[in-house]
Structure 1
Amino acid sequence: MSTPPITELTARARDIFRLVVEGYLTSGQPVGSKTLAGSGVNLSPASIRSVLHELEMLGLLAAPHTSAGRMPTDQGLRLFVDGMMQVAEPTPEERAAIESRLGQPGPIEAALTATSAILSELSAAAGVVMVPRREPRLQHLQLVPLAPGRALAVLVGADGGVENRVVELPLGLAPGALEQASNYISAHLSGRTLAEAARAMRAEIAAGQTALDAASRDLVERGLAVWSEDAAQRPVLIVRGQANLLDEGALTDIERVRQLLDDLENRQSVADLLDAAREAEATRIFIGAENRLFSLSGSSVIASPYRDRDGRVVGVVGVIGPTRLNYARLVPMVDFTAQSLGKLIR
C-alpha cells in the first residue's frame, strides 16, 4: 500500500494522527481514544474512533490488539517524519557535550570511538560510526616467494606503514617473474592508491604501453587486488551502547531486541546499510521494514555522512534503535555530530 501524501488527510485526521505518533514516540505504547479525548481534541469519542479507523485503513496506524489503542506503522512514521515533524536543534548542553568529547587529545581513532559513545549516551540507543576506508598510497611493493604457488606481498606505504599478504600464484612461473612484477609496481605505480594503481595499469595495457608479459601482468594484478579485496571484506565499524536497547520497553518485546542485537553482530550488513547514506546530502532515516537488515526487529537507523576538510565523504555516523526513536531530536543531533567529527578529519 502506497503512503498517501499528508495533504490528502483532513485537518482533523492530521491532528489525531500527529497526537497518536507523538504519544507513541514518547511512551512506546499504543494511544487510545480516551487518551486522545483528554488531549484537547474537540471531537466526540465516537468521532475519534472513526478517524482512527480511517487512518488504520490508510495503512498509517495499526492496533496491536483488538482492544488496544493505535500505534503508527512504518509507513505512518515515514509520513510523519517527512511531512509533519518539526526538528529541535541540539541544546547548548548537548552541543558542548559532543564537542568536548570529540575534542579530547589523541589519535583520530579515539575520536571515532568517542563519537559512537556520545551518540549512544545522548540517544539512549546504539551509536555507530563507519570508519573512513583506508587507502594507502604505494611507495614500494615486493613479491617474495614462499612455496610453489604462493608468495608474500610486502607493501610499504607512503606513510611508512608496512603490511603483508599471502598471494596465490600460478604454477610454472618463469624465473625472475616476481622481481619483474615488483619492480614494475614500484617504478610505475608509486604514489598512487591501490585503486588508482590498478586503473593506471589497465590503461597502459589497453594502450599497449607496458613492456610486461602476460605472466607478469597477472602477478601485478594479483599483488594489487589482494589489498582491495581485503578492505572490502573487512569494514571497520564501531558500535557502542547495545545495552541501551535493553530498556524497560524491551521486556515486553524481548524477541525483537534479541533480533536487533543479532543484526548488529553482522558488521558487514550494517556497514552496507550505512554505506547507503554516504552519498546523501543530509541525514537519512531508515524506518523499520524500509531496510531489509532491520525489518524483522522493527528498528530504525538515523545516519549522516561526515566529510573531511576538502568536503569528501569519508564515513558515516548514526544511531540504531527501536522505531519509537525521538526523530525530531536525534536527526539534528546526528547531523551536528557528523559536522563536528568532520572538522577533525584532515
Structure 2
Amino acid sequence: MLSPTVAELTDRAREVFRQIVDSYLATGAPVGSRTLSRGTGLGLSAASIRNVMQDLEELGLLAAPHTSAGRLPTEIGLRMFVDGMMQAAEPSQAERSAIDTSLQRGLDSGSAIEDVLGQTTAMLSGLSQCAGLVLVPRTDPVIRQLSFVPLGPRRAMAILVGADGSVENRVVTLPEGLPPTALEAAAQYINQHLGGHTLSDARSRVAAEISASRATLDAMTAEAVEAGLAVWSADGAQRPVLIVRGQARLVEPSVDPERIRQLLGELEDKEDLVRLLDLAREGDATRIFIGAESQLFSLSGSSVIAAPYRGAGGRVIGVVGVIGPTRLNYARVIPMVDYTAKTLSRLVA
C-alpha cells in the first residue's frame, strides 16, 4: 500500500494527526482521544476524535502500542509529517554563534581538520541532544619522514610522519631474503628524495625512476621502497574517517534497555554507518532517515539527519549529522544540521 499524502487527509484528520505528532515528539507518550478533546482546542468530542484516530490508524499513520492505550505516530506517519506538515525553526542566534565559533576557533588554532571536525561534532551533539557524527575525507598524506622497524624475517613496521605532524603505523610484508641494510637504505632514499610529496605522488615518482633505471637503488631496496609506500594505499588511504560524539546522550532511563543495546551495537558497525552516510553524500540537501528507512537502524528505531558539506570548487567532501530517537525535534534539528554543513562548506572551501 502506498503511503498517504497530507493532501489526501481531511482538514479534521490533518489537525488531529498534527496534534498527536506534536505531543509524541514532546513527551514520547501515546496520546488518547480524551486528552485531545480536552486540551488542544480541536472542538471535537472524544468519540469524534476516536473515529478520526481509527481512520488514521487504518492508513498506517498511527499505531496503538497497547490495547485501550492512546496512539503514536508510525514511522510512515513521521515521514509524512516531516515531508509535508513540519514547520522548520531556523537555528537561534545563540545556536548559530556556537556553531560558527566552534569551527572558526578550531581552524584559527591550526589544529588538524579531523580535530576541528571532532570538536564541531561534539558541539552539535550538545545542541541537538543527539549523538553527533561527521564523515571526514582522508587526505593523501604528505611525507615528512618514513622509517622501518623490523618485526621478523618478512615483516616490518612502517612508521610515517606526515607534514602535518600526524603519525601512522602499518605492518609491511617484505620480499623474501630482504637484508636489514635494504630497509635502512629504503628509508634513507624515501626521506631524501620523496619528502614533501604525497604518498600517491611518491609512488608514481619511484615507479617512473625504477622503470627508467634512474633510481640509485639495488633491486631489493627498490622492493622495500615500493612496499613501504604501497601499504598505505593497500590499506585504504582514501577511506573516509567516521567521528561519532555524544553516544551517551542516546541512553535514556525511559528507553527499553534492549533497544539501547541494539543501538550502541549499530553505532559500532562503522562500515554500515559509513555506507548510510554515503547516501547523504550523494544528495544536494539534508537527508532524513527515519527508523526502518535505513536498514542499519531498523531494529533500534533511530533516526539519522545528515547533510553533505563541500570543499574547493563546490565538491562534496564529507557529511555531518546526528543520530537520535525517532522522537527527536525534527523541526529544530534539521535546520541545525543544515546550518552546520553550510558553515563547514564556507570555512573549509
Report TM bin, short chain.
Answer: 0.7 to 0.9
CA positional deviation for 1:163: 4.8
Structure 1 residue aligned with 2:283: 280
Q: 1:100 to 1:141 in 2, by over 3 A?
A: closer
Question: Which string of whole-angstrom CA distances, capped at 9 and with x for unpartnered residues, describes residues 270-316 of structure 1?
Answer: 33322321122111111111112211111111111222243222222
Q: Distance in 2 between matches of 1:242 and 1:80?
A: 26
Which runs of structure 2 are paired with 1:292-311 in the superposition (5 Å)? 292-311=295-314
Q: Distance in 2 between matches of 1:240 and 1:79?
A: 29
3-state SS of the aligned residue for 1:301? Answer: strand
3-state SS of the aligned residue for 1:77? Answer: helix
Check the 8 A contact 1:283/1:304 in 2, yes or no: yes
Give the partner amino acid of 1:81.
V
Which runs of structure 2 are paired with 1:148-163 in the superposition (5 Å)? 148-150=153-155, 163=168
Check the 8 A contact 2:139/2:238 in 1, yes or no: no
3-state SS of the aligned residue for 1:285? Answer: strand
Give the partner amino acid of 2:48.
S
Structure 1 residue aligned with 2:132: 127
Q: 1:69 to 1:275 in 2, by over 3 A?
A: same
CA positional deviation for 1:327: 0.5
Structure 1 residue aligned with 2:82: 81
TM-score by length of 2: 0.78
Check the 8 A contact 1:133/1:314 in 2, yes or no: no
Give the partner amino acid of 1:306.
Y
Structure 1 residue aligned with 2:29: 29
Q: Distance in 2 between matches of 1:232 and 1:155?
A: 13
Q: Distance in 2 between matches of 1:53 and 1:336?
A: 39
CA positional deviation for 1:260: 1.6
CA positional deviation for 1:232: 6.5
Structure 2 residue aligned with 1:59: 60
Q: 1:308 to 1:252 in 2, by over 3 A?
A: closer
Q: 1:73 to 1:161 in 2, by over 3 A?
A: closer
Q: Distance in 1 between matches of 2:202 and 2:24?
A: 53
Which runs of structure 2 are paired with 1:318-329 in the superposition (5 Å)? 318-329=321-332
- Does residue 334 in structure 1 map to residue 330 in structure 2? no
CA positional deviation for 1:66: 0.9
Q: Distance in 2 between matches of 1:146 and 1:27?
A: 58
CA positional deviation for 1:64: 0.4
Give the partner amino acid of 1:294.
F
Structure 1 residue aligned with 2:316: 313
Q: Distance in 2 between matches of 1:140 and 1:117?
A: 32
Question: Which string of whole-angstrom CA distances, capped at 9 and with x for unpartnered residues, describes residues 146-189 of structure 1?
Answer: 7554466566767686755333256589xxx9999x989x999x
Q: Distance in 1 between matches of 2:6 and 2:174?
A: 61
Structure 2 residue aligned with 1:2: 2
3-state SS of the aligned residue for 2:24? Answer: helix
- Does residue 236 in structure 1 map to residue 241 in structure 2? yes
CA positional deviation for 1:139: 8.6
CA positional deviation for 1:125: 1.5
Give the partner amino acid of 1:123.
S
Check the 8 A contact 1:235/1:268 in 2, yes or no: no
Q: Distance in 2 between matches of 1:7 and 1:221?
A: 63
3-state SS of the aligned residue for 1:310? Answer: helix
Q: 1:7 to 1:322 in 2, by over 3 A?
A: same
Q: Distance in 1 between matches of 2:308 and 2:173?
A: 37
Q: Distance in 2 between matches of 1:219 and 1:18?
A: 66
CA positional deviation for 1:8: 2.1
Give the partner amino acid of 1:75.
I
Give the partner amino acid of 1:114.
Q
Structure 2 residue aligned with 1:13: 13
Identity %: 59
Q: Distance in 2 between matches of 1:103 and 1:229?
A: 35
Supply the RMSD in Å over aligned alpha carbons.
4.0
CA positional deviation for 1:123: 1.1
- Does residue 267 in structure 1 map to residue 267 in structure 2? no
CA positional deviation for 1:257: 2.1
3-state SS of the aligned residue for 2:141? Answer: coil
Check the 8 A contact 2:309/2:319 in 1, yes or no: yes
3-state SS of the aligned residue for 2:66? Answer: coil
Structure 1 residue aligned with 2:217: none
Mind listing any 5+ residue stretches in structure 1 that lack a counterpart? none
Q: 1:295 to 1:162 in 2, by over 3 A?
A: closer
Check the 8 A contact 1:133/1:315 in 2, yes or no: no
How many pairs were matched up?
340
Q: Distance in 2 between matches of 1:142 and 1:306?
A: 36
Q: 1:117 to 1:46 in 2, by over 3 A?
A: same
Q: 1:326 to 1:229 in 2, by over 3 A?
A: farther
CA positional deviation for 1:235: 5.2
Give the partner amino acid of 1:71.
L
Check the 8 A contact 1:287/1:301 in 2, yes or no: yes
Q: Distance in 2 between matches of 1:221 and 1:83?
A: 56
Check the 8 A contact 2:242/2:274 in 1, yes or no: yes
Q: Distance in 2 between matches of 1:157 and 1:267?
A: 25
